Structure 1
Amino acid sequence: MKTEFHYSLNSVRKILTPNSFPDWSEDFTFENIVTSSMEADEKSLFVPLQGVRDGHDFIQDALNKGTKFFLCKKNHPVLKKFKSSDKSKAILVDDTLNSLGKLANFHRKRFTPLLIAITGSSGKTTTKELLGHFLSKIGSENLVITEKNYNNEIGLPFTLFRINEKTKIAVCELGMNHLKEIERLSDIAEPDISVITSIGSAHIEHLGSLKNIAEAKSEILNGMKKDGIVFVHSNLPFQKTIQQKAKLKNVFIKTIQPKNKKILTIVQKKETGFLLKVFSKKVEWNILGEKSIENLNLVLNVLNEIHFPKKEILSQIQSFKNPEKRFIIEKNIYTVINDTYNANPESMISSLDSSIQLSGKKNLYAVLGDMKELGKFSKIYHTKIGRVFKDNKIKGLITFGKDSKYISQEFIKYNKNQLCKHFDDSTDSINAILSYIQDHIPKKSILLVKGSRSMKMERITEALSNLNF
């Protein structure tokens, strides 16, 4: 990753090692900060990070590209390989990732934008995109928003580095896999307003229980400023966990009700979305599913809190579109609902709900892949998805992977006469699934395709898009 970074060498050293003294002989000024040696140049501060590969192994590559200074973990073996002139270019730190966060936090505190942080087991990216959609009216030079899914301890700093004296609002998405991750992100970002979209089973493999997940999500309050505001749904589980943290941090909780005549009510549910009343005005909402209404409700309440002009909100509701690979409708021989970005039990149920709304009286089939990161709970949650079809009838189900077989096994209990087929996860299975669809599913049917990111379900949607009548 690479972004602008206008700091002097002495400033960087002072931020990372407060007890250091200035270098009186030279004070170099950086123009950018990078984590990839491929993007490094003579004006870069190179930050080597340790992951699957150790970024320290690429310091020499950065130096070869002209980089004059770099962060380096103290006593790292790579230092022994450098000649003395290159060793002198090292800014030694205890941890390079932590140091990246320190630099980002220093930069964030130099400016005074309203910073809104968003987390949740599901819905956080859509909520972030929704906020960004409405706030775009203030102009791109005044708005910073997390790009793509850059929501971790690497991505967040690079979002914060984009803040400058013109920035009025910054919207940051915070993701996690383990306890204390959101706490660290919140400490770096120091949000004025936080939003918790949901508490669900995503990452339960690592966290062990829904209660622990609630603890992890509530960590977003950790870095919040006194008298900040956190927005949550009234039906959010483990509210007491959040209330205790809010009291400790002197943060106010705004509990959002599903129906509020002053802000949002559903007038009519349709195959194309909803007719809503927003701020007492009727508007079309062209996004499917009750979950989309929950996300919109959160965003409208945040915008109302910061006194964002209602006329600007109303003028933009109809033009919002789902983020890439999130419930995108692609029409060909079949109408394919491409929801392949990722999946957890809650988002799977939400996607099925939206698909049923879209299909109306048309034939609806589902092609569902494994949901990952469920650990020892995987069978339980896959079986739970199969149970959803007891009350939500579809014409047929295809499952793909290892544990998705439990969805099929449960589905067939309630739909004995419906099409149901399971395929193991293999390259050959993609062609087999495509052939099975062509042989057993009528043309013009609606197909929902969804699974976890690692299942690469887009292989199926891409193959379907290449079919010809």
Structure 2
Amino acid sequence: MTASSLLKKTRHPAIRSWPRTARDALPLALWSAQEIAAATGGVASGDFQCAGVEMDSRDVRPGDLFVALKGEAMDGHKFVEKAFAAGASAALVDRPVDGPHVLVEDTTAALHALAHAARDRAAAKRIAVTGSVGKTGVKEAIFNALDRSSRGQAHRSVRSYNNHVGVPLSLARMPARSRYGVFEMGMNHAGEIAELTQHAAPHVAVVTTIAPAHIENLGSMEAIADAKGEIFGGLVKGGVAIIPADSEYTARLVEHAKKCNAQVITFGRHASANVRLLDAIPAANGGSLVTAQVGETRLCYSVAEPGEHWISNSLCVLAAVQAAGGDLGAAGLALAELGGLKGRGARHQISVPGGKALLVDESYNANPASMRATLRQLGQTPATRRIAVLGAMKELGDFAPAMHSALIEPLTEAAIDHVILVGEEMESLAQDLGKAGAGTLGNTMSFAHCQGPAEAIAAVEEYGLAAGDALLVKGSNSVGLGRLVDHWTARQ
């Protein structure tokens, strides 16, 4: 008896009759040459398969399709050879190249077409996430919840791929077998999210919160709310809008959603919220134990990430997961295990004289709302001394001096021992801290003002970290305070 005949004879009947579904016929490779050509209207040089899609030759991995995008300052076609050297299976180009490729008229338009083809071929519930604060963390939490309940069949945009290139690229990377897709959307100007949401055509659109980020370009908080509300315009028929119930712009966002014929689910502490906070107490690990009412269901769960803002974020996650048809139990487990992201709350124990100190990495982004939230959390963190390295908040325009000066209040309330201010925009706050009357607010903190990350590193070294200290590093990404985080964590 051969091995194959023995296997057929001994195989369990239930396994032999395992039901096949339409999903079993879907390809395992992300894209074939024929599929790319059909989606983009291009011409394939031959037969090949791709496992991923990439636009930066430095990030290409073996099996990727390299998309040679042309920008104002750079032409991706100059890096096709490097992409192939890194293992790219093929390139999407607007001119013939040596190596497997699909030739199109316009690579940007072709990427959009590939994104739409990926969107349309997958029977995935798509969730779009925007907001002034918290969108990346909320996106990650929603993904982790849906990925857990779907056993690895969820997809999401990585890093902060949330702009006019990142969203189509993230869609183009979505496997045909995906059950869920979670996509982050950002903006600097009005009209940008309106374009992004049309690419994704989400079933669920989430606004985390409204805060004065990018107010330099938009001019007012109302304009920011309107720009974020553009996300509802791309919702499919019967789509759901997830809106914060505790914002002074709730009614404005609801109006935008209603104009798009969206179902509305609100979250927050307000009595009218559909997903409502009932109770939250500190947990032993620094996070929170939360009780929430989700429709007719009462849910108790843990949130690993510290801070009141993460309590609100967790309610947003539950609302989105429920709207997408996910499992609330899996969402609770995902929130309990969620770790901080690099530049967005990652916590490191670093070696210092006498033992360990806590470093909180919030170096990727900063605006007045997120500054207040993280400073409040630093003030609640058990520590011998609390030190804050605060980088300038960008894109505040004429509001910048007043909004930087206003940080004296959360610094004082958090009882910060020493603050290092980085960037020209911090001059107004430095002047206020230097006034003789600043101490009358109960603030006895010392401070230093630096122009860049190298000076900030030296200032921290001069102040001296000791065992039991807690160090917060937060600022807009362009300030470069990630260098300070790398300086300390590289030593470990």
| Same structural fold, with TM-score higher than 0.5 when normalized by the shorter chain | yes
Q: Does 1:377 align with 2:399?
A: yes
> Once the two structures are superposed, what CA deviation does each residue of 1:306-356 show, in whole Å capped at 9, x if it has no partner?
443343334444222222232233233333222222211111111011111
Q: Does 1:128 align with 2:116?
A: no
Letter in 2 for 1:273: G
> Once the two structures are superposed, what CA deviation does each residue of 1:234-254 show, in whole Å capped at 9, x if it has no partner?
123433443343233211222
For residue 365 of structure 1, what is the aligned residue in structure 2?
Answer: 387
Letter in 2 for 1:289: G
For residue 292 of structure 1, what is the aligned residue in structure 2?
Answer: 310
Change (3 A) 1:305 1:341: same
Q: Which moved more, 1:333-342 or 1:183-192?
A: 333-342
Q: CA deviation at 1:457?
A: 1.6
CA–CA distance in structure 1, aligned partners of residues 38 and 178 of structure 2: 22
Q: Is the 8 A contact 1:7 1:29 kept in 2?
A: yes
> Once the two structures are superposed, what CA deviation does each residue of 1:267-294 show, in whole Å capped at 9, x if it has no partner?
4235722222245454443321111011
For residue 265 of structure 1, what is the aligned residue in structure 2?
Answer: 278
Change (3 A) 1:44 1:445: closer
Out of 396, 399, 403, the residue aligned to residue 425 of structure 2 is 403
Out of 346, 350, 360, the residue aligned to residue 369 of structure 2 is 346
> Once the two structures are superposed, what CA deviation does each residue of 1:402-459 show, in whole Å capped at 9, x if it has no partner?
1123223334543366233233324651353033321xx7652222221111222233
Q: Is the 8 A contact 1:390 1:411 kept in 2?
A: no
CA–CA distance in structure 1, aligned partners of residues 64 and 265 of structure 2: 45
> Once the two structures are superposed, what CA deviation does each residue of 1:216-251 show, in whole Å capped at 9, x if it has no partner?
211111211122111011123433443343233211
Q: Does 1:277 align with 2:295?
A: no
Out of 75, 92, 95, the residue aligned to residue 105 of structure 2 is 92
Change (3 A) 1:244 1:351: same
Change (3 A) 1:432 1:216: same
Change (3 A) 1:286 1:448: same
Change (3 A) 1:426 1:242: closer
> What's the TM-score, normalizing by structure 1?
0.82
> Once the two structures are superposed, what CA deviation does each residue of 1:353-412 show, in whole Å capped at 9, x if it has no partner?
1111223x7432322111122233221211122233354432232212211232233345
Out of 206, 219, 230, the residue aligned to residue 219 of structure 1 is 230
Q: CA deviation at 1:152?
A: 1.9
Letter in 2 for 1:266: D
- The aligned runs of 1:49-448 (5 Å cut-off) are 49-58=70-79, 70-72=92-94, 90-93=103-106, 96-139=107-150, 141-258=152-269, 264-269=277-282, 272-278=286-292, 280=298, 282-331=300-349, 332-333=351-352, 334-359=357-382, 362-412=384-434, 413-415=437-439, 418-426=444-452, 429-438=455-464, 443-448=467-472
Q: CA deviation at 1:170?
A: 0.8
Q: CA deviation at 1:56?
A: 4.7
CA–CA distance in structure 1, aligned partners of residues 483 and 172 of structure 2: 35
Q: Is the 8 A contact 2:217 2:395 kept in 1?
A: yes
Q: CA deviation at 1:266?
A: 2.4
CA–CA distance in structure 2, aligned partners of residues 273 and 34 of structure 1: 36
> What's the TM-score, normalizing by structure 2?
0.78
Letter in 1 for 2:468: K
Identity %: 25
For residue 458 of structure 1, what is the aligned residue in structure 2?
Answer: 482
CA–CA distance in structure 2, aligned partners of residues 396 and 363 of structure 1: 8
For residue 75 of structure 1, what is the aligned residue in structure 2?
Answer: none
Q: CA deviation at 1:194?
A: 0.6
Letter in 1 for 2:476: S
Corresponding residue pairs, total = 442
CA–CA distance in structure 2, aligned partners of residues 126 and 365 of structure 1: 24
- The aligned runs of 1:35-54 (5 Å cut-off) are 35-36=55-56, 39=60, 44=65, 46-54=67-75
Out of 28, 32, 41, the residue aligned to residue 6 of structure 1 is 32
Other structure's SS at 1:415 match: helix
Unaligned runs of 5+ in 2: 1-28
CA–CA distance in structure 2, aligned partners of residues 397 and 125 of structure 1: 27
Change (3 A) 1:283 1:219: closer
RMSD: 3.5
CA–CA distance in structure 2, aligned partners of residues 358 and 447 of structure 1: 10
Q: CA deviation at 1:57?
A: 4.6
Q: Is the 8 A contact 1:117 1:171 kept in 2?
A: yes
CA–CA distance in structure 2, aligned partners of residues 345 and 92 of structure 1: 44
> Once the two structures are superposed, what CA deviation does each residue of 1:80-113 show, in whole Å capped at 9, x if it has no partner?
xx89x99x985224xx434422321132112221
Other structure's SS at 1:404 match: helix
Q: CA deviation at 1:7?
A: 4.7
Letter in 2 for 1:152: N
Change (3 A) 1:161 1:10: closer
Q: Which moved more, 1:177-186 or 1:347-356?
A: 177-186
For residue 10 of structure 2, what is the aligned residue in structure 1?
Answer: none
Unaligned runs of 5+ in 1: 17-22, 73-78
CA–CA distance in structure 1, aligned partners of residues 152 and 47 of structure 2: 24
CA–CA distance in structure 2, aligned partners of residues 265 and 369 of structure 1: 35
CA–CA distance in structure 2, aligned partners of residues 43 and 465 of structure 1: 31
CA–CA distance in structure 1, aligned partners of residues 243 and 336 of structure 2: 24
Q: CA deviation at 1:130?
A: 1.0
Other structure's SS at 1:389 match: helix
CA–CA distance in structure 2, aligned partners of residues 63 and 281 of structure 1: 50
